[in-house]
Structure 1
């Protein structure tokens, strides 16, 4: 959801298309790695840790702070051990946008080092910034994802009709963003070990080719299911739903309650239950990591009405890479939609 960690008035300018804002600062408290040393990278979640591993390979040692498949990163509270890991890292990769605010807080307490941030709140960067992170310009306002094939540029605002999704931090479901993060990781690793810069660049290219194949599958879904209605228990997969050409018809009253971190009112619950009972959606996209009695009831109602339920989560299942995980979820969505042809 989009405001679990911060008031919704904090605007993330052009979030999905902004993709990556990179802040490079001094070497901080950790000396640069030697040519034969592993580069120590801390990632906020296993999602970004997997991206780093794909690019860095055997040259990196990746520590993902939130890696429990059942954990909710929104509510994670960091420990002194986490701060120590960040201090010891050569590079920190995190989501940004307030999603993994614990990383931002650790960095803001004097842990100056190279970082890759998937989302950059331009307003926050202007006001707060991580001092010492360099004088990088704010992310540009126009982002057409040039070079990523014939995909249309992402719109500046990603709100479904009647829904406020202008602040949606789940950018790992925007495959263009993941491309950009891989590129930036390769760049930063190459700075830390210049002799391996080309190796990192090639690995990033291979990873991006795999992500491109995922984009092709999403394009197939869009071509066959344009405009089909879905209901979501939380907008975790907002960007994927959008890229797949699906229409999010979740009742606005329910969405607003979820995004405000409040229990939906009886009227809001009744509205979503009525939508499901009337079979207004062909699938329900369900996030088990933010499960509550209300969302469980939504799932039960969907199953009783023979509406397909597709699970989409916030972190990787154990033993899965980012590409494997996303491929499984995209396939599940495609299979669910095929059931309703």
Structure 2
């Protein structure tokens, strides 16, 4: 069985589990970037506001039909780092019973508005991350698990009568996350020597969970983490990492596009290094946070498999060429020339 088939089996298991906690589609907009999701219920519905839809989707998966979730930033068409909330967004936050923020400097506009909520779940505080750390915490399996528990606890505090319900939802979600971890293990086993470079460190935690080696030049990465433009020398190092095929894969964040990233992705294309786009916000076609992770892993697997197939085909062509060359050498009148060629 090929590694793609192994990944496919693992993916199917994840999807079967994920369906049990699927959030379905997004609802009406609260602002240009906001999305909401709610279900009618006979009891009291907890008003939940998430700064970003990554945590908003998780909030809905844990809360089920006992929560109404609004994500302020809920589209991949907005640059998360430059997002400025509207007055209506701040008003929405002020009405939250449970407010979920990312922290680590990613959504300061939301963390500054946390005083009105009864309960605040801060993902960065939950896992011990601080400003200056990589803020893309939703890509970390450990962070997702820790935040899911915090959310369930917050719901139990807001509605003690439904505490058992939330605990059961959390347990179901954990099974789905566990299946995803198995998929990651299969991927890691099938791609033990895979490396990657990234135009921006959006997927760092996911790639770490997949045990892919980051070969992005450190000076380039540091500049991007500092929200500054890498120096020309750093960009050249990045391009060389791709043209030399030191990286098996290039991760590109389409929400952070620039002339610089266009040059880097072109270098990858020219070198035959596969490029996979990874957004910060959850795409519209994703049904949940884990389903999104699963989709990304499938894309990585396909990109690496296709690249490996291309290299194998090229090696076969080279083998035919070498064989023809060898036949020509063997017909040479000077046997030593053949020996020299073979030695080379």
Q: Which runs of 5+ in 2 are unaligned?
A: 1-40, 309-344
Q: Which residue of 1 aligns with 2:153?
A: 187
**Aligned in 2, Cα 1:199/1:104: closer, same or farther, shift over 3 Å?**
same
Q: Distance in 1 between matches of 2:238 and 2:105?
A: 28
Q: Which residue of 2 aligns with 1:48?
A: 55
**Aligned in 2, Cα 1:140/1:106: closer, same or farther, shift over 3 Å?**
closer
TM-score by length of 2: 0.73
For the pair 1:81 / 2:88, whether they are aligned, the reply is yes
Alignment partner of 2:144 out of 178, 195, 198: 178
**What secondary structure is seen at the aligned counterpart in 1 of 2:153?**
helix
Alignment partner of 1:101 out of 108, 120, 139: 108
Q: Distance in 2 between matches of 1:94 and 1:215?
A: 24
| Greater alpha carbon shift after TM alignment, 51-60 vs 175-184 | 175-184
For the pair 1:302 / 2:268, whether they are aligned, the reply is yes
**What secondary structure is seen at the aligned counterpart in 1 of 2:196?**
strand
**Aligned in 2, Cα 1:324/1:140: closer, same or farther, shift over 3 Å?**
closer
Q: Which residue of 2 aligns with 1:244?
A: 210
Alignment partner of 2:46 out of 25, 33, 39: 39
Q: Distance in 1 between matches of 2:60 and 2:85?
A: 22
For the pair 1:72 / 2:39, whether they are aligned, the reply is no
Q: How does 1:153-232 map to 2 (within 5 A)?
A: 167-232=133-198
Q: Which residue of 2 aligns with 1:117?
A: 122
TM-score by length of 1: 0.73
Contact 1:190–1:196 at 8 Å: present in 2 too? yes
Q: Which residue of 1 aligns with 2:304?
A: 337
Q: How does 1:286-301 map to 2 (within 5 A)?
A: 286-301=252-267
Cα distance per residue 1:34-67 (max 9 Å; x no partner): 9812110000111100001101111111110000
Q: Distance in 1 between matches of 2:233 and 2:183?
A: 38
Contact 1:227–1:245 at 8 Å: present in 2 too? no
Higher relative contact order (CA 8 A, sep 6+): 1
**Aligned pairs, how many?**
266
Q: Distance in 2 between matches of 1:43 and 1:101?
A: 13
Contact 1:226–1:244 at 8 Å: present in 2 too? no
Contact 1:257–1:263 at 8 Å: present in 2 too? yes
1:166, CA displacement in angstroms? 7.2
Q: Distance in 1 between matches of 2:221 and 2:161?
A: 49
Q: Which residue of 2 aligns with 1:270?
A: 236
1:327, CA displacement in angstroms? 1.0
Q: Which residue of 1 aligns with 2:14?
A: none
Q: Distance in 1 between matches of 2:216 and 2:127?
A: 32
1:298, CA displacement in angstroms? 1.0
Cα distance per residue 1:298-328 (max 9 Å; x no partner): 1122112111111211111114221221111
The structure whose Rg is larger is: 2
Contact 2:141–2:209 at 8 Å: present in 1 too? no
Q: Distance in 1 between matches of 2:142 and 2:76?
A: 24
Q: Distance in 1 between matches of 2:154 and 2:223?
A: 40
Cα distance per residue 1:176-209 (max 9 Å; x no partner): 2111211111111112112211111111111121
Q: Which residue of 2 aligns with 1:260?
A: 226
**What secondary structure is seen at the aligned counterpart in 2 of 1:62?**
strand
Alignment partner of 1:91 out of 70, 87, 98: 98
Q: Which runs of 5+ in 1 are unaligned?
A: 1-33, 121-138, 142-155, 157-164
